Amino acid sequence: MIAAWQQEVDTLKASLTGDLFQDMEARDQIHNLEMKINGVKPSSSEFECVGCGS
């Protein structure tokens, strides 16, 4: 599963344009996937984040 997430991150990173507003959704997806890869809770989860305590 982690390999699939990493592949999706790589695909999303390749699609970035450098325009902050245009890339906002892709960057959010990248962030959430990287949190899953690193074992940290994404913001869409109802459980507390072990890494930051939020």
pTM confidence score: 0.73
Residue extents of the structural domains in the chain: 2-37
Cα 29 to its chain centre, rounded Å, is 4
Interval 21-51: pLDDT, tens: 999 999 999 999 998 899 886 556 665 555 5
Give the pLDDT score at 39.
84
Please report where in the chains the tokens 């507390």 appear, as a residue. Answer: 48
Give the pLDDT score at 1.
85
**Helix-strand-coil percent breakdown of the chain, rounded to 5?**
55, 0, 45
Give the pLDDT score at 54.
47
More confident residue, 7 or 47: 7
Q: Any idea what the Cα angle at residue 29 is, between residues 37 and 21, rounded to 5°? A: 145
Q: Which residues contact 51 (CB under 8 A, 6 or more apart)?
A: 38, 40, 41
d(CA 6, CA 20): 22
More confident residue, 54 or 10: 10
